[in-house]
Homo-oligomer: A and B are copies of this chain.
Amino acid sequence: MNKLKLSLISLLFSFLSFNIFGEKQYNLEVFVDGLDHPWSLVELSSGEFLLTELPGNLKLISQDGSSIKEIANVPEVLFRGQGGLSDIVLHPNYKDNGWIYYSYSAYIDDQKELNTLFVDRAKIEDFELVSIENIFIAKANRKAPAHFGAKLFFLEDGTLMITSGDGFDYRESAQFLNNHFGKVLRINDDGSIPSNNPFLNIPGALPEIWSYGIRNPQGIFQDKNGLIYENEHGPRGGDELNILRPGVNYGWPAITHGIDYSGALISPFKEMEGMEQPLYYWTPSIAPSGMTIYEKDLFPEWKDKIMISNLVYKDVRILALNEKKEVIKEEILFKEIGKRIRNIITLSNGELMLITDKKNAQLIKVKKI
């Protein structure tokens, strides 16, 4: 097909999707209200939703949002600071095997002095978690409940990515491979180690590590071409969007585009040999939270764009990349909500679900007008 033909087809496509009179193409609908620190959501093939709330609630929400049922038998979580019941994803073969995966923070000792990040898998029967198996405990014990990362994503090869934050007080550990602070990890669906993880032959390195030098990763998503995108909170400034590659060092805290909350320099370096630069960054911080790549057709103007919700500006950033994977456009969406946005999820029908933050929070559906 020649370029002109392609142009005309794309043109027709954008004609169908883009309202040239400048009206919004979406409606925002409060789908569920009155939630308590909701954090993540997954859509089941039945059209129902499973929602996590940080205090340790797992909720089954009906297709139309009108009915909410508690799922019992959730493990005891540490709901304090940034900790609690966090992400939830389905096994790629969920339809056949019924496995759901969820992350949470919890104490590791009876004295309740140290806590870390856990990942379990379980099935649901009669509104109860059953067959619970713990498949991962981060070697990242901390005193304060901060910077867990705690995002989960199943790659197309069936392995599970886990983001693990630097624990705030342990930032130097992000540069060392003998712990799980400030890393993105990759395990098999049963918790075993994939045979092609990058550091398997490095003495002393933990085998789950996929990439390191990361701060507090709050979004992870693999696009249809197999690229893995990750976003993370910088210190004060230096929030990053990265493309994750195995074995790569993303530099935290040796290099950063941000400064400490105290105003002190963390590092005089913004770049260093052998450390990867972010694809894109925000200074000052926007506090990115969830991330999705929009690969549906309902809103063609968002097709293949990266959507990142954020807490500081209470909006969603939509990033367009060119073929060289440079960000060529940043647009601001959903600012009219006026609430910290904790997460953004693409639904199977092409609508989006936004999750607002903290107490008395909402699920907000982005629907086509």
B-chain residues with CB within 8 Å of residue A320 when the two chains form the complex: 22
Q: Quick check: is A65 within 8 A (CB to CB) of the other chain?
A: no
Which chain B residue shows the least CB distance to A327? Answer: B335
B-chain residues with CB within 8 Å of residue A323 when the two chains form the complex: 22
Interface 9-residue window, one of A10-18, A79-87, A114-122 = A10-18
Contact of B7 with A14 in the complex, beta carbons under 8 Å: no
B-chain residues with CB within 8 Å of residue A15 when the two chains form the complex: 7, 11
| CB-CB contacts below 8 Å: A21-71 with B | 21-24
B-chain residues with CB within 8 Å of residue A332 when the two chains form the complex: 329-332
Contact of B20 with A328 in the complex, beta carbons under 8 Å: no
| Chain A 322-365 interface 0/1 with B at a Cβ cutoff of 8 Å (1 = within) | 11000011111001000000000000000000000000000000
Q: How large is the interface on A (under 10, 10 to 19, 20 to 34, 35 or more residues)?
A: 20 to 34
B-chain residues with CB within 8 Å of residue A75 when the two chains form the complex: none
CA distance A50 to B328 in the complex (A): 32
Contact of A22 with B328 in the complex, beta carbons under 8 Å: yes
Q: Quick check: is A247 within 8 A (CB to CB) of the other chain?
A: no
Q: Quick check: is A302 within 8 A (CB to CB) of the other chain?
A: no
Q: Quick check: is A284 within 8 A (CB to CB) of the other chain?
A: yes
Which chain B residue shows the least CB distance to A320? Answer: B22
CA distance A328 to B10 in the complex (A): 24
Contact of B335 with A330 in the complex, beta carbons under 8 Å: yes
Contact of A322 with B20 in the complex, beta carbons under 8 Å: no
Nearest CB in chain B: distance from A125 CB, A = 47
Which chain B residue shows the least CB distance to A12? Answer: B11
Nearest CB in chain B: distance from A17 CB, A = 12
B-chain residues with CB within 8 Å of residue A312 when the two chains form the complex: 284
CA distance A14 to B10 in the complex (A): 12
Q: Quick check: is A136 within 8 A (CB to CB) of the other chain?
A: no
Q: Quick check: is A168 within 8 A (CB to CB) of the other chain?
A: no
Nearest CB in chain B: distance from A1 CB, A = 14
Q: Quick check: is A170 within 8 A (CB to CB) of the other chain?
A: no
- Assuming the contacts A11-B11, A320-B22, A323-B22, asked whether A313 and B328 have C-beta atoms less than 8 A apart, the reply is no
CA distance A94 to B166 in the complex (A): 62
B-chain residues with CB within 8 Å of residue A22 when the two chains form the complex: 320-323, 328-329
Contact of B328 with A24 in the complex, beta carbons under 8 Å: yes
Leading 10 A-B pairs by shortest Cβ distance? A330-B332, A10-B20, A22-B322, A331-B331, A11-B15, A24-B328, A22-B328, A7-B20, A22-B320, A23-B322
* Interchain residue pairs with CB less than 8 A apart (19): A7-B20, A11-B11, A11-B15, A14-B14, A14-B20, A22-B320, A22-B321, A22-B322, A22-B323, A22-B328, A22-B329, A23-B322, A283-B313, A284-B312, A329-B331, A330-B332, A330-B335, A331-B331, A332-B332
